[in-house]
Structure 1
């Protein structure tokens, strides 16, 4: 007999749905890196080795929650695995890379962390509908952004970087910018949805997100936010068009995107120089030139999962000496994939992304009332962010966890959306708010 609640010693019972909702929200909050890393970091945001060890401790309750939920819903988990075999195949790569990694223990340790993060993505995908996940992020990210605004007022010295830009409850201004950008998307999606009855709160959180984004000065997050609003228009137009019209719209936007990328490659640096701005994109351009040389040296298999940017790697040390600063990663998610796995990892990753974009667009066109708009926009946003940041395959990172959850959710729903609006394996359809109540 299935047990749907836990009974405490005093008598009241807590439903498993309550545990799932609160556990998922707390897990996302912890993996977002809010508050605790800031408390342990130095004034410039640097974490010591002892601080990094302490930060690993909150991950263990998240891992335990993930395993418990997956065991309880193991058939749904197997269904999610079967419906997109590329995800588990790519997940094997970090472990395989230990065979050729320049730092096998580092690659193995970080691969284990990545495994648990993707397992949490599966939990979010099989236990929450798109609209429920939207509401979960609305609450979780809203708490982070509101706390950032409050801290900037109560303790400006702690909430601001040494250069005066705002970092809120996060360790760096760029991280605040990323989550502020996501908050703007989530709040906008709640306003567009109109079925959640949270318009006033959404306006407040939207304003708080804009304040944090502007105060962080993160150009990557600003560009991603602008792209998000363009994508909202694109997917809305795509959903309202006929089949032939959709082909025309897709071709137009693909050509437009390619044209913009070519223009940025050719004219961005001269334009920045003419405006008196930093033409190196805060040191990224010379970093990319050096990284590309290292990628070409081991272009087939790479250096092993996240083994390149370590103090034991002479190639990384050479780059740091050439730059004059210790880059923690390539500041480009696509280059870091090549550094970790080479072409062998990039090819299946590109296949995975193209498949997810196609499935997401199909779901938006054929099942828009289920709330697919924001997930489609979010997926492309992360692809844009990784042009100047490195988020792909980051262990214990809430953004990558949500990115993987979106891809898994697309593949989970896409095969059945034409035959059933409510698959039998999906999460309960009642509102997430009711799941947060203790019965």
Structure 2
């Protein structure tokens, strides 16, 4: 929806262009907040470098401002919310999960402080901006957080680097852990690659930052992020190159699927031998042990509805057993899908799967119909979302930029919402 000018007694106080600029800046600021640009802390410290009182003020300030902007456009807000019943159902299940939670007050606190603000921002982002505008804002947010992380690593090593533990010397930037920095650098690198090669006005300067992101991945020592960055770039080129039209595209697509299946079979059937050859831990830093315990012992305790938002990993009773099998109590399952099931059960997970699949199908049609980078972005992001959450937890756990963008795209790609802005 295009912004309208604000007048008083016939005098223009703010033009449509000024309102657009203000809302673009506000949206970018909110995304920066949820991406962690203001809540960074020293290594092994729970206290943020910025005082907690300021962080709280920013949280509730963005919360209230987003709600106000949604109320100022009630028609667009309601139309956007109603455009995707599966996404709305997923949001509803998480919000009411306190009803079956073993600790309702903890779930209500997590929903109120973390989940609802993310949902409101997603709803505002989807109802207010076109896909082109969204891609532009998200790109700048990714770049700003990346540059901030690099600046912290160089100027404030005690904050931007791991200074103790097994990852000492690895870059982490504004994030709590190197893998999070690696995932962010990967998404930034892919977005810059798209801007440099597939934008209507190709931005070749983006290749310089692209190289910086790749270098940052190397110093972060996140092997997973480095591998996913290569895979993400290959997927981007593949999606962009073939429009799935004609015999040639169908043939190449079939060959790609066959090659992927064959590679996966070889990888999983020789998992331990391959990791032993490269002198790597076959348990993937105890991930496989954690997954085994979660799947076989924890999920069966409440399989259909889960334990409620944000409860499982904060409950000593529920996390008992990990210190014996996985040698420690992890902060999360290192798998976004398992964490989602622990929160809202298999029912909530089904809602997520349908929401993702519908959004992915619509994104694929859009990417092959229009060639600009902004229309390729949803397809690439939704693909990377699945890959990232295989080994880490970047879905609805705590506050995360990935969940905001996922729900935003789920609504933005709905035919009614997209047509109203097209």
- TM-score computed with the length of structure 1 as normaliser: 0.84
- Residue of structure 2 in register with 1:430 after alignment: none
Give 1:169 deviation, angstroms: 2.9
SS of the equivalent of 1:331 reads: coil
- Residue of structure 2 in register with 1:228 after alignment: 232
Gaps of 5+ in 2: none
Q: Number of matched residues? A: 408
1:219 to 217, 220, 223: 223
Trace 1:10-409 onto structure 2 (pairs within 5 A): 13=14, 15-38=18-41, 41=42, 43-47=43-47, 55-112=55-112, 113-162=114-163, 163-196=168-201, 198-200=203-205, 202-239=206-243, 241-242=244-245, 248=251, 251-292=254-295, 293-310=297-314, 312-369=315-372, 371-409=374-412
Distance 1:370 1:218 in 2: 27
The farther-off stretch of 182-191 and 245-254 is: 245-254
Q: Which structure ranks higher in relative contact order (CA pairs < 8 Å, sequence separation ≥ 6)? A: 1
1:45·1:171 contact (CA, 8 Å) conserved in 2? no
Per-residue CA distance 1:185-228 (angstroms, 9 max, x = gap):
1101111234345321x122212211222111223322321221
2:194·2:373 contact (CA, 8 Å) conserved in 1? no
CA change 1:170–1:129 in 2 (3 A) is: same
2:421 to 423, 426, 429: 426
Give 1:31 deviation, angstroms: 0.8
- Residue of structure 2 in register with 1:432 after alignment: none
2:153·2:160 contact (CA, 8 Å) conserved in 1? yes
SS of the equivalent of 2:169 reads: coil
- TM-score computed with the length of structure 2 as normaliser: 0.88
Name segments (4+ residues, structure 1) moved above 6 Å.
50-54
1:177·1:216 contact (CA, 8 Å) conserved in 2? yes
Give 1:64 deviation, angstroms: 1.9
Distance 1:126 1:252 in 2: 39
SS of the equivalent of 2:96 reads: helix
Gaps of 5+ in 1: 418-422, 428-439
